[in-house]
Amino acid sequence: MIELRNVSKSFGAVPAVADFSLKIESGAFFVLAGPSGCGKSTVLRMINALIFPDKGQIEVRGQDVRTMEPEKLRRGIGYVIQSAGLFPHWTVADNILAVPRLLKWSPPECAARLDALVGLLRVDPALLNRYPRQLSGGQQQRIGVARALAADPDIVLMDEPFAALDPVSRLVLQDELRGIHARSGKTIVFVTHDMDEAVRLATGMAVMNGGLLIQAGSPASILLAPVDDFVRDFLGAESLQLRLLDLVPVRTLMKPGKKGATETIAAGASLKNALNLMLACRRSSLGVADESGARLGEIHLNDIVARRDGG
């Protein structure tokens, strides 16, 4: 879907990305992680030709980005940035429909798409006629994501989209984004410096430092076998086991059982959530429920502790 081959880019004398190669498969939720200034945003901005590399090649959908008209390429790729970057003089609805209108969709098509997006991202319809300054940070970024998805692009680029949000808004939007990805099969390239966020969202990830690709693979493979001390430190070795628990849903360790344990947790929640809830209510077992709240079984602390890592 997206392939970078031996890409290098300097700004003046400062190298930002050096000899960077990466292949992102179609349908991946790919996270580029690393400390600030490691070149991850530069990589992202080269994918939609906001920046051109000095050396190397970038292909999107099998086509060299240099051979494509930049505006046309970008209209086919969703783009979300940290502070949302909503147009302050446009209403929320106009902001969401920016790209469909650039693509000259008809008004009925735009109206239908707006309806669909309001449903998909659970936007309060009362917000549509407001201006961005009247929205909270979380609401603004929700609109930013809706705007990126408006023309239904198969690729979405996201540059630390949730970094400036409060923890609650961030978790909610992360969950929704993961759901949208799972349902739509879009290819998402997501830049973050937050390791928890990376592990929670990624199907594949790359860790960068100083403009170099240090390690790429699934989140579990990187957590279990960091290639060097930098990756180990960046992952936060002291909480490695907890991060691994974040990758595994409760249903994998669920056992049949209908009695005991009054507290319940969703089958799709992570083992980390389960452990957290056990600590919070001082119990060694929890009930497991499906989305409608119907009891499916139970999960036990012993099983979490005895679990063998396999990713």
Partner 1 sequence: MGADRRSLIAALLRLARQPGPWLTVLLLAAMFLMPKAEPLMRWLFPGDPRPVYTRASFFELTLAHAELVAISSLAAAAIGIGVGIFVTRECGREFAAMAGAIAAMAQTFPPVAVLALTIPVLGYGAAPAIAALCLYAIFPIIAATVTGIEAVPATVRDAAMGMGFAPRDVLWRIELPLAFPFILAGLRNAVIINIGTAAIGSAAGALSLGSPIIEGLSASNPAYVLEGASIVALLAMAVDRGFAWLEDFTRPGGPEQPG
In this structure, what DSSP letter does residue 235 have? H
Q: Rounded CA gap, 35 and 161, in Å?
A: 16
Which of 4, 17, 28, 84 lies at the binding interface for partner 1 (CB under 8 A)? 84
Q: Which is nearer to partner 1, 161 or 204 (CB)?
A: 161
Question: With contact defined as beta carbons under 8 Å apart, do 123 and 132 qualify?
Answer: no
Question: Judged by CB under 8 A, does residue 102 bind partner 1?
Answer: yes
Question: Judged by CB under 8 A, does residue 122 bind partner 1?
Answer: no
| Segment lying near partner 1 (by CB under 8 A), choices 15-23, 31-39, 43-51, 253-261 | 43-51
| Segment lying near partner 1 (by CB under 8 A), choices 75-83, 208-216, 230-238, 253-261 | 75-83
Question: Judged by CB under 8 A, does residue 79 bind partner 1?
Answer: yes
Q: Which is nearer to partner 1, 95 or 285 (CB)?
A: 95
Question: Judged by CB under 8 A, does residue 48 bind partner 1?
Answer: yes
- The residues in 125-144 that bind partner 1, with binding defined as CB under 8 A, are 131, 144
Which of 66, 72, 255, 258 lies at the binding interface for partner 1 (CB under 8 A)? 72
Query: The sheet that has 14-24: what strands, in order across it?
Result: 14-24, 2-11, 55-60, 63-64
Q: Rounded CA gap, 108 and 106, in Å?
A: 6
Which of 1, 18, 68, 98 lies at the binding interface for partner 1 (CB under 8 A)? 98
Question: Judged by CB under 8 A, does residue 234 bind partner 1?
Answer: no
Q: Rounded CA gap, 17 and 211, in Å?
A: 4
Which of 15, 56, 85, 268 lies at the binding interface for partner 1 (CB under 8 A)? 85
Task: Fill in the amino acid letter for 294.
Answer: A
Helices (H), the chain: 40-47, 70-75, 92-96, 98-102, 107-120, 137-149, 167-184, 195-201, 219-224, 229-235, 240-246, 271-281, 301-306
Which of 13, 62, 67, 89 lies at the binding interface for partner 1 (CB under 8 A)? 89
Q: Rounded CA gap, 105 and 107, in Å?
A: 7
3-state helix, strand and coil shares in percent for the chain, rounded to the nearest 5: 40, 25, 35
What is the nearest approach in angstroms of partner 1 to the Cβ of residue 228?
Answer: 33
Question: With contact defined as beta carbons under 8 Å apart, do 136 and 130 qualify?
Answer: no
Question: With contact defined as beta carbons under 8 Å apart, do 19 and 35 qualify?
Answer: no
Which of 17, 28, 86, 245 lies at the binding interface for partner 1 (CB under 8 A)? 86
What is the nearest approach in angstroms of partner 1 to the Cβ of residue 90?
Answer: 8
Q: How many CB atoms lie within 10 A of CB 211?
A: 22
| Segment lying near partner 1 (by CB under 8 A), choices 10-18, 27-35, 45-53, 249-257 | 45-53
Q: Is 295 helix (H, G, I), strand (E, B) or coil?
A: strand
With a CB cutoff of 8 Å and minimum separation 6, the contacts of 275 are 242, 245, 301, 304
HSE, side-chain direction, 13 A CA sphere, residue 285: 17
What is the nearest approach in angstroms of partner 1 to the Cβ of residue 74?
Answer: 4
Question: Judged by CB under 8 A, does residue 74 bind partner 1?
Answer: yes
By CB under 8 A, the count of residues binding partner 1 is 28
Question: Judged by CB under 8 A, does residue 146 bind partner 1?
Answer: no
Question: Judged by CB under 8 A, does residue 73 bind partner 1?
Answer: yes
The footprint of partner 1 (CB under 8 A) covers: 45, 48, 50, 70-76, 79, 81-89, 98-99, 102, 131, 144, 147-148, 157
